[in-house]
Structure 1
Amino acid sequence: MVSGLRAPGFQPDTGRESGEAAVKDEPETEPAAQNSDETFYCEAEASVAGEKEKPGGESSETDLEIEDTEKLFTTGQRELYLEACKLVGVVPVSYFIRNMEESYMNLNHHGLGPSGTKAIAIALVNISNNDLGLKGASTISEFLQRNTSSLLNLQLSGNNFKDEAAELFCQAFSANYRIKTLDLSHNEFSDKGGEHLGQMLALNIGLQSLDLSWNHFHTRGAVALCNGLRANVTLQKLDLSMNGFGNEGATALGEVLRLNNSLVYIDISSNDISNEGVIKISKGLEFNESLKVLKLFLNPVSMDGATLLILSIKRNPKSKMEEIDISNVLVSEQFVKILDGVCAIHPQLDVTYKAVQGFSAKKELLLWTNPMKLIQSYADQHQITVIDFFKSLNPNGRMMMSVGDFRKAMIQQDKVPMNPYQVRELIKKLAEKTGMVNFSCWCLGGALRIMKPGGIKNCGLCYGSIKTAKFSPDDFNVSLA
């Protein structure tokens, strides 16, 4: 019986957590009633798992309902766990999904069974910060080449891996196509390692998320990585921040952006890229049809470079860009006017910069008027709930939208006019970590309260007072006192 799980932290060859034990013994208690929100069933046989009916008294949230919602542009732990459940043939445990961001959770009386426990272990392999070095890299590489059907998420950050380890990982990941998320950040890879990893990227057909931040890639390694990216067709999220790409690396990346149609997220913050490199990146963005997030924070880019970036989006009618982070760049009111013109064509776009030169305190105050208060005021005047307002933004009436679609809808709607600053603030407060906005988590009260079967959680976002609140997975209704 699994009583407690501290995640992530399983070692791939033993299933044990590095450091503390993964399972904590707890006194046996009577299993909860079947209609409890925390009662779940995991079937061991893959052939029948999808056909099992839910126990009669089980609530609608007991087994996770997997819908064809909009695809997230990142592969998070939730998606990895769902994939692992499919792999071993069990029903996903929604209690685990709701609490997987916590460092500890109690899984007493969840009927996991061997296969259910295996699905959790598969999704959460984390052996970061263990100083594994070359010997550890060799062991991991051998394991991955033997086993191509289990692990989905492998976190190897901070293990003192050098270029020799990169060669081993190249061998492993050229053959292993099951792993979707790989974290190799905070290691010691340099240009030679970049060449090996670039070769790996050219051959790998499984990775969706790769973190190479805080390594030592410079021009030669950066160009090699980008050469591999040009041939890669599966990678969606790439973190290269805190390296030394420079303008030559940015030139190679610009060519990747021109040709690649799978990458949706790139972080090249703090890579010594100046306006010269931004020119090359901008040329790539004029042709790119997939990228949604570009982070260029802490690069020596001026307002001229920032202007080139946003104009490249304007010139690309097929651009899907949603976020550009240049939050160390001071811009002018003229830049803001140009950005407004770009956003008129691409309303989903949000550009984060440091500040606007010459803006008075009064102007700043007007820009940052609390957006939730504006929505609350509109709802009061029209005798509707805030949830009704948000649902009206979604053409299909569903309770969930991607952040990009939500931003676009908020900019285009005319019921509660908002500027991009207010929309950005709203998204910061309301978006989930998954990149989705979920209206079913909102209601009005002295504080925003997330209502779930079995509990109420305060969030502190809304105003007013609750008289009655009813929750179902499909709707959220609130009437005000």
Structure 2
Amino acid sequence: MEEDEPLEAETTDEAESAPAPQDSDETLYCEAEAPLTVEKEKPVWESSETDLEIEDSEKYFTTGQTELYLEACKLVGVVPVSYFIRNMEETYMNLSHHGLGPKGTKAIAIALVSNTSIICLELEDNCMMEEGVTSLVQMLTENYYIQELNISENNLGLEGARVITDFLQKDVSALWNLQLSGNNFKEEAAALLCQALSSNYRIKKLDLSHNQFSDKGGEQMGQMLALNIGLQVLDLSWNEIHTRGTVALCNGLRANVTLRILDLSMNGFGNEGAQALGEVIRLNSSLIYIDVSSNDISNDGASKISRGLEFNETLSVLKLFLNPLSMEGAVFLILAIKKNPKSRMEELDISNVQVSEQFVRTLDGVYAIHPQLDVIYKSVQGLSAKKTAYLWTNPMKLIQSYADQQKITILDFFKTLSPSGAVKMSVGQFRKMMLQQNKVPMNRHQIRELVKKLDEKSTGMVNLSSLKT
């Protein structure tokens, strides 16, 4: 990826906190009858089942966080989740797979209205349904601290999509990262969500994978992307968006100026979709990462994509894994990058394609022009086992051996390679630096292993600070 972070500067202040482990003996919610509550006047879209106020308003302001949650559990008739109580003051809260149900979700939402610690909230696979998500969005209109929300795999369906749409149209929360994967959203849900996203510019990262948008949903997404100026990351993988939907989506991408990361893998849009994508790559100047793995793209489709690569000056990662490509299609792609002196490509994933030694020699010529590039292929035909073993010699052991000889640390070794002594840089910069140094000569296979170790979260940035010891 390019030198800066995958997201724009306005998202870099998000808290980075490691997920806390879940207890294996975590108690599940109990679907007991909730005690009767006093009816209060509420907006039309609220009901008595989703009202987040507790009976005694004074208690709401005087009760501590734990006591408030326990009172909420008593109110709705569920067993409290001990993990939630223990971690209420952390920035990261993972309640995925806890069996909360709609009532348990409501109790959590009541407690979170006044919580100022939690920034990232994981609620995947809790069967919260429409009632639960209604409680959550009510809470989010009051809580301006939660920035990331995962409510994937909650069977929200069309009615849940309506609740989320109403919330997004109000545009009143601090939320910028929303994960909605696997919620049984179909064409009608896609239309609603796209209507809201056409005018909501707060959401920067959106996961809608593993739904059933189909071609109609792809068309809706295309119309939304032509208008949206907020989204930077969009995951539409596993959505049955075929040729017609992909072409329409790509038409919308031509006008989009903010989207940087797009995942369209596992949709099966074929060579016609690849042709539309190639045109996007030629014209678009914001996309840096595109994943179109497993989309039935053959050599013909690769040739269409390659025409875009000849002109693109921003794309750094292109994943074409699990497409029916042969070495012929791979040659189209690498020669297109070679022809483009302004290409910023850092990774081309064709890892199911077996290549020849002649291809490797051609690729070396591409590398001479673009040393930051790494082309990931399956294997080289006829390569001896001995040579293969040499290619995969542990690179960290080689560096450690050199560092021991010089009586320096591994971190010191890397610092000596960077003119500025930087410990954080893009994957492309790191790859180029390692290839050009001669203290510990390495091949690209070994450098790839180093990148995996130093960029574990696949951010596109290598962070050497983890090597302090």
Q: Using structure 2 for the length normalisation, give the TM-score.
A: 0.73
- The answer on whether the counterparts of 1:237 and 1:263 sit within 8 Å (CA) in structure 2 is yes
How many residue pairs end up in the alignment?
Answer: 362
Which stretches in structure 2 are left out of the alignment for 5+ residues?
Answer: 23-82, 93-111, 122-145
2:178 aligned with 1:245: no
Supply the RMSD in Å over aligned alpha carbons. 2.4
- The answer on whether the counterparts of 2:90 and 2:117 sit within 8 Å (CA) in structure 1 is no
What amino acid is aligned across from residue 208 of structure 1 in structure 2?
Q
Task: Determine which of 412, 428, 440 is the counterpart of 2:465.
Answer: 440
Task: Determine which of 362, 372, 381 is the counterpart of 1:348.
Answer: 372
Q: How much has 1:133 moved relative to structure 2? A: 1.2
Q: Deviations over 1:384-422 (max 9, x none)?
A: 222111112222112222222111100111111111111
Q: Deviations over 1:288-308 (max 9, x none)?
A: 011111000000000011011
Q: Deviations over 1:318-366 (max 9, x none)?
A: 1111111111001001111111111111111111111100001011011
Structure 2 counterparts to residues 90-109 of structure 1, below 5 A: 97-100=16-19, 107=87
- The answer on whether the counterparts of 2:354 and 2:379 sit within 8 Å (CA) in structure 1 is yes
For the residues of structure 1 that align with 2:17 and 2:90, how far apart are their CA atoms? 14
Aligned to 1:376: 400
Q: Classify 1:383/1:240 alpha carbon distance in 2 versus 1 (closer, same or farther; 3 Å).
A: same
For the residues of structure 2 that align with 1:273 and 1:80, how far apart are their CA atoms? 34
Q: Deviations over 1:422-455 (max 9, x none)?
A: 111121122241332222211xxxxxxxxxxxxx
Aligned to 1:133: 157
Q: Deviations over 1:113-148 (max 9, x none)?
A: 957336445222111111211111111111110124
Q: Secondary structure at the match of 1:99?
A: coil
Q: How much has 1:375 moved relative to structure 2? A: 1.2
For the residues of structure 1 that align with 2:268 and 2:325, how far apart are their CA atoms? 15
2:446 aligned with 1:422: yes
Aligned to 2:326: 302
What amino acid is aligned across from residue 325 of structure 2 in structure 1?
V
Runs of 4+ in structure 1 over 3 Å off: 78-81, 100-116, 118-121
- The answer on whether the counterparts of 2:205 and 2:234 sit within 8 Å (CA) in structure 1 is yes
Which stretches in structure 1 are left out of the alignment for 5+ residues?
Answer: 1-68, 84-91, 443-475
2:107 aligned with 1:82: no
Q: Classify 1:79/1:403 alpha carbon distance in 2 versus 1 (closer, same or farther; 3 Å).
A: farther
2:350 aligned with 1:326: yes
Aligned to 1:65: none
Q: Using structure 1 for the length normalisation, give the TM-score.
A: 0.71
Aligned to 1:116: 116
Structure 2 counterparts to residues 27-106 of structure 1, below 5 A: 70-74=3-7, 80=11, 82-83=13-14, 97-100=16-19
Q: Secondary structure at the match of 1:395?
A: coil
For the residues of structure 1 that align with 2:20 and 2:244, how far apart are their CA atoms? 37
What amino acid is aligned across from residue 447 of structure 2 in structure 1?
V
Q: Secondary structure at the match of 1:417?
A: coil
Aligned to 2:313: 289
Q: Classify 1:202/1:395 alpha carbon distance in 2 versus 1 (closer, same or farther; 3 Å).
A: same
Q: How much has 1:81 moved relative to structure 2? A: 7.3
For the residues of structure 2 that align with 1:98 and 1:150, how far apart are their CA atoms? 18
For the residues of structure 1 that align with 2:347 and 2:171, how far apart are their CA atoms? 38
For the residues of structure 2 that align with 1:101 and 1:267, how far apart are their CA atoms? 30
Aligned to 1:272: 296
- The answer on whether the counterparts of 2:89 and 2:118 sit within 8 Å (CA) in structure 1 is no
- The answer on whether the counterparts of 2:168 and 2:196 sit within 8 Å (CA) in structure 1 is yes
Identity in percent: 67
Q: Classify 1:209/1:299 alpha carbon distance in 2 versus 1 (closer, same or farther; 3 Å).
A: same
What amino acid is aligned across from residue 414 of structure 1 in structure 2?
N
What amino acid is aligned across from residue 464 of structure 2 in structure 1?
F
Q: Secondary structure at the match of 1:98?
A: coil
What amino acid is aligned across from residue 406 of structure 1 in structure 2?
F
What amino acid is aligned across from residue 290 of structure 1 in structure 2?
T
Q: Deviations over 1:65-120 (max 9, x none)?
A: xxxx9521257xx984725xxxxxxxx5xxxx231486679647679995733644
For the residues of structure 2 that align with 1:111 and 1:220, how far apart are their CA atoms? 43
